[in-house]
């Protein structure tokens, strides 16, 4: 019998047992909901060190047969089959543990932010304009008008810095209409976003992100260790500082030449292997992203002494990008020029740009994909396994 605390052995012998009770316990279909009353007895052969000798049993809700997938069987099942019957799949202890780790990770992040003086906020998820143009937005009918699901809380985070909040974070759903069918993309995902005011440069933002990630990942490890539970294989050691590698240097490692271009999936995977050989570090920052690569990111600040470089960075874990952020442009005239250079109309961002009319401190921040982080920490082959009920191009149920 399995419940939230684990699996308990129910021991019954045919001889001397009420026939109705024996049939109930031996003939009821697997995965049925049952109630068993009995006495505990120590047993060295039982999984938990004890067993239950039943005096009565009741089938509360019988399960249909056959099951569409096994819960205790060690049989590989296609991911689509698992997701089609997600409730049964989530009964598996190994699958449940993924979401226990996820919950502990989020608790660790919240604890880290609280200790560092951040305020948790909630920003709108129905917008008139996206933070990065309309290419990856989900349009919706808004009382006869046109609106979009939020792809990022980026603009609102910056507005809150202008409101004097100084340090904010949000853990919330985000939506991207990218036609991607990969093991690391979703259309609905959980984003952890933070923004920090009064920073002097990109290093201040990087330091904050590193601190909260180290705390959250370390907090899960401590909690599992205290409970005597093994962590997933390959759990990263985050005790040492994360290497910080300039984009240009990383491009040289990959043998790139010519105009700078963003790293693709294969590039990121190769960089992860190189960093592992050079530093033995699972987590690392790619810094100083070229302005040409971030041309469409109009809020990315170009460095005053090196305008061809931004104060932007990525945080990668073994070749998988899990966070991106950097120094924001806080000067209104330059921000509006960036909006125009990105091919956008400043009038479409009037509410956002107004926040920069009345004094905006230098600031920066980041967005971190919780699903990808859980995927990597738990060694999952597909990011869909890191969400309870994932959504992609083809899946709207269950």
Catalytic site positions: 176, 178, 184-185, 321, 324, 372
**Residue 270 to residues 118, 241, 371: CA-CA distances in angstroms?**
35, 21, 22
Under 8 Å between Cβ of 41 and 35: no
The whole-angstrom separation of Cα 360 and Cα 371 is 32
Closest CA to 48 of 101, 1, 94: 1
300 phi, psi to nearest 5 deg: -75, 125
**Residue the block writes with tokens 């990109």:** 202
Under 8 Å between Cβ of 205 and 196: yes
DSSP code, position 301:
P
The whole-angstrom separation of Cα 52 and Cα 54 is 6
**Residue the block writes with tokens 């976003």:** 193
Kindly tell me the number of DSSP H helices and DSSP E strands found in the chain.
11, 16
Closest CA to 89 of 65, 63, 69: 69
Residues in the chain: 398
The whole-angstrom separation of Cα 367 and Cα 369 is 7
The token pair that represents 395 in the structure block: 């899946």
* DSSP H or E run through 156: helix 154-162
**Residue 217 to residues 65, 220, 338, 365, 377: CA-CA distances in angstroms?**
41, 5, 36, 19, 9
């Amino acid at each position: 019998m399995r419940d939230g605390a684990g699996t308990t052995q129910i021991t019954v012998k045919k001889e001397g047992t009420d026939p109705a009770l024996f049939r109930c316990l031996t003939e009821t279909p697997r995965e049925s909901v049952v109630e068993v009353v009995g006495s505990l007895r120590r047993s060295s052969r039982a999984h938990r060190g004890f067993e239950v000798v039943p005096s009565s049993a009741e089938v509360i809700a019988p399960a249909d047969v056959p099951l569409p997938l096994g819960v205790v069987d060690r049989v590989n099942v296609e991911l689509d089959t698992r997701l089609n019957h997600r409730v049964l799949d989530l009964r598996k202890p190994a699958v449940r543990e993924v979401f226990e780790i996820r919950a502990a990770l989020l608790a660790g992040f919240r604890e880290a932010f609280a200790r560092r003086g951040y305020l948790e906020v909630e920003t709108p998820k129905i917008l008139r304009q996206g933070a990065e143009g309309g290419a990856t937005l989900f349009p919706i009918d808004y009382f006869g008008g046109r609106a979009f699901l939020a792809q990022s809380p980026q603009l609102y985070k910056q507005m809150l810095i202008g409101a004097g909040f100084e340090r904010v974070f949000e853990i919330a759903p985000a939506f991207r209409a990218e036609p991607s069918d990969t093991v690391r993309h979703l259309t609905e995902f959980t984003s952890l976003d933070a923004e920090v005011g009064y920073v002097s440069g990109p290093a201040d933002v990087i330091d904050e992100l590193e601190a909260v990630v180290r705390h959250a990942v370390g907090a899960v490890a401590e909690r599992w260790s205290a409970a005597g539970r093994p962590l997933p294989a390959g759990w990263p050691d985050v005790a040492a500082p994360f290497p910080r590698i300039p984009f240009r240097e990383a491009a040289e490692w990959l043998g790139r030449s010519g105009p700078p271009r963003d790293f693709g999936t294969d590039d990121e995977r190769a960089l992860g292997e190189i960093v592992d050989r050079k530093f033995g570090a699972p987590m690392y920052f790619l810094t100083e992203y070229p302005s040409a690569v971030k041309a469409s990111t109009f809020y990315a600040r170009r460095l005053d002494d090196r305008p061809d470089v931004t104060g932007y960075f990525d945080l990668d874990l073994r070749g998988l990008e899990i966070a991106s952020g950097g120094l924001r442009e806080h000067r209104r005239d330059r921000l509006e020029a960036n909006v125009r250079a990105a091919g956008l109309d400043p009038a479409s961002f009037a509410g956002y740009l107004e926040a920069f009319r009345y004094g905006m401190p230098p600031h920066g921040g980041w967005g971190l994909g919780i699903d990808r982080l859980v995927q990597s920490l738990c060694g999952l082959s597909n990011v869909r396994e890191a969400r309870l009920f994932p959504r992609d191009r083809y899946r709207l149920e269950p």
